Amino acid sequence: MKTIRVKTPAKINLTLEVLNKRNDGFHNIKSIMQAINLYDYLNVSAEDAVENEIKLTGTSDSIPYNEKNLVWKAAEKYFAKTGLKNKKITVHIEKNIPVEAGLAGGSTNAAGMFFALNEIFDTHLSESEMNELCASLGSDLNFCLTGGTALCTGRGEHIEPLPAPELDVSLIKPLGFGISAKEAYTKFSHLEDKSVPGNTDKMAALLKSGKFDKTLLYNSLEAAVINDFPELLKIKSEITGSMMSGSGPAFFTLEKAAKISESQNFLVINGLHTVTDGVKVC
């Protein structure tokens, strides 16, 4: 039996500008994604079997441990791509990244699955082949695989690495609900004003020159969902400089610690910071 343990980082969107809708139903975006030191862990083992088999377990009651899980789908795609047969894959997911929060928890786990299987087996897919697999399963996987800081375009699958800023990060997520990307983008489609300020290009240029300006933080989807959820309005009003990440409902602030009234209704994770890597063996 071969085993490996990998850690998969959460991401925040320093900027997220939603552009035009594509023919495939997705939207083109322009975003600066940033990995942070909040990790899920995948404990993966592989052994010979009569036929291909996948078994998932984990610490969270909020995710499925069957074919609906992106980790399961990643394993199936890896089998199909490589032609591997008669293998049993067992995965235990230690979940720390909040679910349906805009932090790429599912995507980073799936990227971790591709990475782990590529390490365990002798197939050793190339970087381009790994990126093709990631793009086939979701929009954030390519970034999660490489991590750090990157300008992400297309659906998010085209990655241009950027110099990483050293930033403190705190997360604030309302308890009791999540927002799917589909829901957020549907609400975005109903906005009258879909214009973007061009903050992504401005921030990318600053990062390349070794600078950072937190006034450029921006998220097109925030305006689409915030008025439907009093909890989000509360975060925005009480925590100066807070910004929603991805499709939400998690917000981040570039401070060491965040405080909010009625804190029993929110998950607050303080003391985080930006990191320069992505999925890796631990």
Encoded tokens for 207? 């990062």
Q: Which of 40, 77, 87, 140 is catalytic?
A: 140
Peptide bond into 230 cis (omega under 30): no
228 catalytic residue (yes or no): no
What type of residue is 205? A
The 3-class secondary structure across 174-203, one letter per residue, is: ECCCCCCHHHHHHHHHCCCCCCCCCHHHHH
Peptide bond into 64 cis (omega under 30): no
* Residue 1 CA, distance from chain mean position: 30
Query: Among residues 165, 127, 168, which one has the least CA distance to residue 149?
Result: 165
Under 8 Å CB-to-CB from 13, ≥6 apart: which residues? 31, 32, 33, 34, 102, 219, 245, 246
95 catalytic residue (yes or no): no
Catalytic site positions:
11, 140
